[in-house]
Amino acid sequence: MTDQGEFRGSTVLITGASKGIGAETAALFGEAGAFVLVHYNTAKEEAAAVLNRVRELGGNGETVPGDLRTVTGCRELIDRLKQNGWDIDILVNNAGSLIKRTPVLEMSWELWDQVLTLNLTSAYFLSQAVLPGMVEKKRGVIVNVGSIAGRNGGGIGASAYSIAKAAISTMTRSLAKEFSPHGIRVNCVSPGTIDTNYHRTFSTPQMLEAIAAATPMGRHGTAREVAEVIIFLCSCRSNFIQGQTIEVNGGFLMP
């Protein structure tokens, strides 16, 4: 539960915010009074609906397009932030996807580049773009969204995605070490199987049933449950949490 007005005056950029975890995170920030930049790639109408929800809950913001599967798209998003003069207080690097479940022997250079750019490179360079402003203010928060796949290697056909998500956890620790002296906190949330279209797209019903059965809590998580952890990591209640990857998986994988 967020405190009303907790993030009033803060500008928050959430990538991949048109649906799922990103959309729920945007709504929670809206409830807390933030100005939310709702990033999307192709889901323009869904992003607009998320922004409307943010405003109805008491926040404000804008939708921001950008194809983070390509370096050009990443640069265009960064340029758009600069052109609009948006000074980012909180960055949630949530955008990510398998793009296509592909066995190792069928992986192309082109698909590898897309998966790594979307899930890792975009997060790195967006962080690089917003960090100077955070350093100047001596405050700021970055939350990266990883995946349980970064710990267990994911399912068959998810090798590139799993590798990128493992790197996200390492990136989190690296940025935390470098920018902690500047008053900036960097942490990571690592969801397990969450009840979103993402998992329904890339997994069969049988796979999803098996995962739920193997999860001690006996079910999949919800986007809201992950969003609550992201909000917590951005709040003053987590001021002494730094460089951590928080597992949100119902006990499916225990460190």
The pLDDT of residue 157: 95
How much of the chain exceeds pLDDT 90, in percent? 88
The pLDDT of residue 73: 98
How much of the chain exceeds pLDDT 70, in percent? 98
Q: Is the residue at 117 inside a domain?
A: yes
The pLDDT of residue 202: 74
Q: Is the residue at 34 inside a domain?
A: yes
Give the Å distances, CA to CA, from 173 to 126, 201, 223.
16, 31, 24
Q: Domain span at residue 231?
A: 11-248
Q: Is the residue at 255 inside a domain?
A: no
Q: Above 60 in pLDDT, residue 1?
A: no
Q: Above 80 in pLDDT, residue 98?
A: yes
Q: Above 70 in pLDDT, residue 44?
A: yes
Q: Is the residue at 2 inside a domain?
A: no
Question: Would you place residue 199 in the very low, low, confident or very high pLDDT band (cuts 50, 70, 90)?
Answer: low
The pLDDT of residue 209: 87
CATH number of the structural domain spanning residue 221: 3.40.50.720
Q: Is the residue at 92 inside a domain?
A: yes
Q: Residues 154, 166: contact at Cβ < 8 Å? A: no
Closest CA to 187 of 142, 157, 152: 142
CA quadruple 45, 51, 54, 55: dihedral, nearest 10? -110
**pTM of this structure:** 0.95
Residues 163, 168, 172: CA angle, nearest 5 degrees: 150
Would you name the residues annotated as active-site residues? 161
| Mean pLDDT, residues 163-167 taken together | 98
Helix (H, G, I), strand (E, B) or coil at 54: helix
DSSP labels, 8-47: TT-EEEETT-SSHHHHHHHHHHHHTT-EEEEEESS-HHHH
| Mean pLDDT, residues 137-152 taken together | 97
Q: Is the residue at 3 inside a domain?
A: no
The pLDDT of residue 189: 98
Q: Above 70 in pLDDT, residue 3?
A: no
Q: Is the residue at 5 inside a domain?
A: no
* Average pLDDT value for the chain: 95
| Mean pLDDT, residues 203-215 taken together | 86
CA quadruple 232, 97, 110, 14: dihedral, nearest 10? -40
Q: Residues 120, 149: contact at Cβ < 8 Å? A: no
Q: How many domains does the chain have?
A: 1
| Mean pLDDT, residues 107-115 taken together | 98
Q: Is the residue at 202 inside a domain?
A: yes
| Mean pLDDT, residues 103-110 taken together | 97
Q: Which of 79-88, 124-133, 198-207, 227-236 has the lowest mean pLDDT?
A: 198-207
> Residue 152's Cα: distance from chain center in Å?
19
